[in-house]
């Protein structure tokens, strides 16, 4: 097991270099002059322009720029954004906010999925099952930004149950509305997965055995059925977690959450190589680690996998 | 901790106000008097994360500019209509078009207790002008004697007379120099700033109506908390307890916050709400012209656009555009059709300059002029307007292209560039091969600012490389005239030359659109589209 974890961690190294090089190249290849754009419609003095470009190494060839960046990173310095802030600081500020949001959204997603999915499976073909299917289809079909705007308009502005935007107050309790929106936008797939998986498990011989041994339902369902049904659901949610870390941009914009989505968007617009690359690199590493955790969870849920390793 | 408390207090206040309003709604309680105003209440407003450290000479965008204007005070400040009033200055004398004498009021301090003296201005300006300091606003000092873009050079034109008096000698006539002095680039800096300017930019010490609530009050990407500076003695005394400027990544979110009661004052309505915000907010909606001029530039080097033929074609294009229709349908009345090259909020503006009828929609004249040009040299190719696709310009460019195609019978279309950065790079190195969208937001409320930098021969932002000796002469006459009325007269004449040559086709002036909540009163937007925050009072 220890060797397995170590090997997975070492995989991060080639992924890290490959991803940073690739992303740095893509930012570098973006057309236009980012420094010139900082001056708006006013044309700055050419000498000043050159000086500022020099300061950010923008006049150097791609590989030299990348070298400056990567040497910094290896010394724990992610570079400086165009606004003069260390990218380290930006990361430290933005990531916890988005992490909080992602954890809440996944928690909401999982609780909805497991509860509704299990009930649906137990009452297959019944009214509850059909209604939950229709509702799930609606949430799958509606894009997240539509859901976000509707929730913001009705739940926050009209009814006043939540704050319309998050901004400075971004502790756990302040992120309820965006987390609900994200959770609901994601739950449908997990719910259907749970349902299918639970139905599958219910038909297994050992479930019948458990019942015939006289075990009560409240023991059979959570311990014997769910534990064996949740592997695909956990996998799906782990992927969702990665998606949320990177892809909550739209939601963060609508609810004004000072997380990674908005920061990354702004940095891309300004072609701030170091900022963009640093954020994306962190995500890559994150993805790798999340997958590691998922693999370890498998072992926890299914001892057969644990012993096979 | 303190921040959270502050935010909580303002939230609680909001709640109380909401209750109070609900309570008196039956009696139609219009609290017209300010007797109940709460002088310690914090006003919340929208903003955007400053792109640079909060140093006056390196901030050239509105997000940081708004904060700087609140925490610093210059020699003059501007009233809502753009008229300058002395703020730090006791008296500013324009001795002649190239020389000024500035006297500062005694006993004014920065928030760290340091006294504001002539030296604070001279040092700050020299820092801003020095080439190697790479300050974005260094061009504001280019008219001062000793300035150089290429090498480090002291501003020899600044001379200290005594602790509170200094003189400014200019290297060329600029009779409106005194008018510029309210801009943030000219703010003074305390001596402590020069110990470590980067650290200062994070926690600036100013001399304005507000100051940072505490060390670290600037929460990056989130908000900045300002409180009233009790020591400030200038003309912009705060009528409230402070400002919380929340940074919004999108205008839509800010508008939602205003509707949701989290924001007192909003200075930018998102495009998605332009059609409805006046109905939503009623008399709390703000929609008035601003000092922003929009156009598209046709470089003279383009085929068919030089000489007599070029003049005819430019006039024809201008006549073929129905500005009224575009501003009312596409922009929902939040643009005002242009009648000159400046802006109606600037003193000396006129909508009846000689030659301005070229901006009127007149299809017959357009066709006739185009035919006359064809007689000189037949039209070939297509007419394109380059724009950046990331700036929401596609609708109006398409509309204008359609009008040109219909009214002139030519092939016309938009030429989108994915990003603003790419468009500016092509404009700057002159590789752009089509006309392109252009615009100007004034730095200070003077007519010259809309003309000199854009159309004078070899001027810094003359992206179309326009050159006309007659225009240059009239502009020089105007800027050398210490009599404001006389100067504006010249600037008007200079514009008649522009109406003939049309180096850029004027389109419209942007309006400032905004609004405020029922929780506040006395919201007035200034000439530069920013609310006069110090005047705002909270209904208590």
Residues of A in Cβ contact (< 8 Å) with B149? 45, 47-48
For residues A160-184, average pLDDT? 86
Between CA B13 and CA B42 the distance in angstroms is 9
Query: Rounded to the nearest 5 degrees, what angle is found at the Cα of A219, between the Cα atoms of A214 and A220?
Result: 70
Residue B65, SS3 per DSSP: helix
Residues 207-226 on A with a CB inside 8 Å of B are none
Residue B10 has pLDDT above 90, yes or no: no
pLDDT at site A306: 63
DSSP symbol at B133: G
Beta bridge partners of B285: B515
Strand partners, B210: B228
Residue of B nearest to A250 (CA): B250
For the segment B244-272, the average pLDDT, to the nearest whole number, is: 92
What pLDDT band is residue B36 in, cutting at 50, 70 and 90? low
User: Which of the four pLDDT bands, split at 50, 70 and 90, describes residue B28?
Assistant: very low
Q: Which of B4, B198, B260 sits opposite A164 (nearest CB)?
A: B260
- Residue A249 Cα distances to A62, A90, A244, B301, B397, angstroms: 28, 16, 9, 43, 29
**A256 and B CB contact within 8 Å:** yes
Helix, strand, coil shares, percent, chain B, to 5:
35, 20, 40
A83: nearest CB among B51, B261, B423? B51
pTM: 0.85
B247:A39 CB<8 A: no
Once rounded to an integer, what is the mean pLDDT over residues B350-366?
95
DSSP assignment, residue A259?
A: S
- Per-residue pLDDT band at B449 (split at 50, 70, 90): very high
Length in residues, chain B? 540
Confidence band for A308, pLDDT divided at 50, 70 and 90? low
Half-sphere exposure of B11 (CA within 13 A, CB side): 11
Asked if residue A151 has pLDDT above 90, the reply is yes
Q: At B221, list the tokens.
A: 């990407």
What pLDDT is stored for residue A1 in this prediction? Answer: 65
Q: How confident is the model at residue B4, as a pLDDT?
A: 38
Q: pLDDT confidence of A283, banded at 50, 70, 90? A: confident
Q: How far apart are the first and last CA of chain A?
A: 7
A280: left (phi over 0), alpha (psi -120 to 50) or beta: alpha
Say if B219 is an interface residue toward chain A (CB within 8 Å). Answer: yes
ipTM associated with this complex: 0.84
CB B319 within 8 A of CB B362: yes
Is B390 within 8 Å of chain A by CB? yes
In B, residues 404-423, which contact A (CB 8 Å cutoff)?
417-423
- Closest by CA to A186, choosing from A133, A249, A109, is A109
The model's pLDDT over B150-168, given as tens digits with 9 standing for 90+, comes to 899 999 999 999 999 999 9
Q: What is the pLDDT of residue B20?
A: 35
Is B247 within 8 Å of A51 when comparing Cβ atoms? no
Query: Is residue B461 less than 8 Å (CB to CB) from chain A?
Result: yes
- Residue A172 banded pLDDT, cuts 50, 70, 90: confident
Across the interface, whether the CB atoms of B428 and A43 are under 8 A apart is answered yes
Element of type H or E holding A87: helix A87-122
Given an 8 Å threshold on Cβ–Cβ distance, is A43 in contact with B461? yes
Task: Answer whether residue B405 shows pLDDT above 90.
Answer: yes
Q: Which residue of chain B comes nearest to A92, CA vs CA?
A: B220
| Residue B425 sits at the chain A interface (C-beta within 8 Å) | yes
**How does pLDDT run across B224-254, given as a tens digit for each residue?**
999 999 999 999 999 999 999 999 988 899 9
Which of A257-266, B88-97, B332-341, B452-461 shows the lowest mean pLDDT across its residues? A257-266
pLDDT for position A247: 62
Tell whether the model's pLDDT for residue B23 goes beyond 50.
Answer: no
Q: How confident is the model at residue A291 (pLDDT cuts 50, 70, 90)?
A: confident
From A167's Cα to the closest Cα of chain B, the distance in A is: 6
**Mean pLDDT over the full length of chain B:** 90
**Residue A146 near chain B (CB below 8 Å):** no
Give the separation between CA B91 and CA B102, rounded to whole angstroms: 6
Residue B29 reports pLDDT greater than 60: no
pLDDT of residue B527: 92
């Amino acid at each position: 097991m220890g060797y397995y974890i170590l090997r997975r961690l070492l995989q991060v190294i080639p992924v890290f270099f490959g991803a940073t090089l690739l992303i740095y190249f893509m930012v570098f290849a973006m057309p236009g002059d980012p420094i010139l754009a900082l001056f708006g419609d006013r044309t700055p003095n050419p000498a000043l322009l050159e000086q500022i470009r020099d300061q950010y190494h923008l006049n150097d060839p791609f590989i030299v720029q990348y070298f400056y960046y990567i040497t910094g990173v290896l010394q724990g310095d992610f570079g400086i954004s165009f606004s003069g802030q260390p990218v380290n600081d930006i990361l430290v500020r933005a990531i916890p906010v988005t992490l909080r949001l992602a954890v809440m959204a996944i928690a909401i997603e999982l609780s909805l999925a497991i509860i509704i999915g299990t009930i649906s499976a137990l009452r297959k073909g019944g009214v509850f099952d059909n209604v939950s299917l229709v509702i799930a289809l609606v949430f799958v079909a509606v894009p997240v930004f539509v859901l976000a705007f509707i929730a913001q308009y009705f739940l926050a502005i009209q009814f006043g149950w939540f704050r319309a935007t998050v901004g400075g107050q971004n502790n756990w309790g302040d992120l309820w509305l965006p987390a609900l929106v994200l959770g609901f936008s994601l739950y449908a797939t997990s719910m259907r997965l749970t349902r299918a998986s639970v139905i599958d498990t219910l038909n297994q011989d050992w479930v019948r055995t458990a019942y015939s041994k006289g075990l009560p339902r409240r023991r059979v369902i959570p311990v014997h059925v769910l534990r064996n049904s949740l592997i695909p659901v956990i996998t799906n949610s782990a992927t969702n977690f990665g998606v949320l870390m990177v892809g909550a941009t739209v939601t963060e914009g609508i609810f004004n959450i000072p997380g990674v989505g908005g920061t990354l968007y702004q940095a891309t617009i300004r072609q701030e190589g170091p900022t963009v690359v640093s954020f994306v690199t962190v995500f890559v590493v994150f993805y790798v680690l999340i997958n590691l955790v998922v693999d370890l969870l498998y072992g926890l849920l299914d001892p057969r996998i644990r012993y096979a390793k | 901790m303190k921040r959270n408390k502050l935010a909580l207090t303002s939230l609680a206040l909001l709640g109380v106000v909401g209750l109070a309003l609900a309570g008196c709604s039956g009696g139609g309680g219009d609290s017209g008097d300010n007797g109940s105003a709460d002088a310690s209440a914090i006003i919340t407003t929208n903003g955007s994360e400053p792109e640079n450290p909060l140093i006056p000479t390196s901030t050239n965008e509105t997000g940081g500019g708004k904060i700087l204007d609140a925490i610093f005070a210059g020699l003059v400040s501007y009233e809502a209509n753009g008229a300058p009033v002395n703020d730090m200055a006791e008296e500013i004398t324009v001795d002649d078009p190239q020389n000024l004498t500035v006297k500062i009021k005694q006993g004014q301090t920065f928030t760290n207790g340091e006294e504001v003296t002539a030296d604070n201005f001279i040092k700050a300006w020299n820092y801003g002008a020095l080439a190697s300091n790479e300050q974005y606003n260094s061009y504001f000092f280019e008219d001062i004697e000793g300035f150089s873009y290429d090498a480090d050079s002291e501003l020899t034109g600044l001379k200290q007379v005594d602790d509170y008096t200094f003189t400014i000698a200019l290297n060329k006539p600029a009779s409106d120099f005194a008018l510029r002095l309210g801009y943030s680039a000219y703010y003074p800096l305390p001596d402590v700033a020069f110990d470590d300017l980067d650290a200062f930019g994070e926690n600036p010490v100013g001399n304005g109506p507000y100051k940072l609530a505490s060390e670290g009050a600037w929460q990056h990407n989130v908000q900045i908390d300002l409180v009233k500076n009790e020591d400030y003695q200038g003309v912009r005394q705060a009528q409230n307890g402070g400002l919380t400027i929340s940074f919004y990544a999108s205008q839509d979110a800010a508008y939602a916050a205003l509707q949701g009661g989290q924001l007192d004052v909003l200075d930018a309505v998102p495009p998605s709400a332009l059609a409805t915000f006046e109905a939503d907010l009623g008399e709390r909606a703000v929609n008035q012209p601003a000092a922003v001029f929009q156009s598209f530039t046709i470089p003279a080097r383009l085929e068919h656009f030089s000489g007599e033929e070029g003049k005819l074609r430019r006039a024809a294009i201008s006549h073929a555009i129905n500005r009224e229709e575009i501003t009312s349908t596409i922009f929902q009345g939040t643009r005002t059709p242009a009648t000159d090259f400046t802006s109606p909020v600037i003193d000396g503006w006129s909508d009846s300059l000689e030659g301005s009828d070229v901006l009127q929609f007149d299809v017959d004249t357009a066709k006739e002029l185009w035919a006359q040009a064809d007689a000189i040299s037949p039209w070939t190719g297509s007419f394109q307007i380059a724009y950046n696709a990331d700036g929401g310009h596609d609708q109006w460019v398409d509309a204008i292209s359609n009008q040109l195609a219909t009214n002139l019978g030519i092939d016309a279309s938009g030429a989108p560039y994915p990003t603003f950065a790419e468009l500016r790079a092509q404009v700057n190195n002159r590789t752009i091969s089509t006309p392109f969208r252009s615009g100007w937001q004034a730095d200070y409320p003077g007519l010259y600012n809309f003309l000199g930098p854009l159309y004078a021969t070899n001027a810094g932002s003359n992206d179309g490389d326009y050159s006309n000796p007659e225009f240059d002469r009239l502009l020089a006459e105007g800027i050398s005239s210490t009599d404001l009325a006389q100067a504006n007269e010249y600037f008007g004449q200079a514009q008649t030359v522009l109406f003939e040559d049309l180096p850029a086709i004027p389109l419209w002036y942007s309006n400032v659109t905004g609004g405020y909540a029922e929780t506040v009163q006395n919201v007035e937007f200034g000439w530069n589209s920013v609310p006069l925050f110090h005047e705002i009072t909270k209904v208590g």
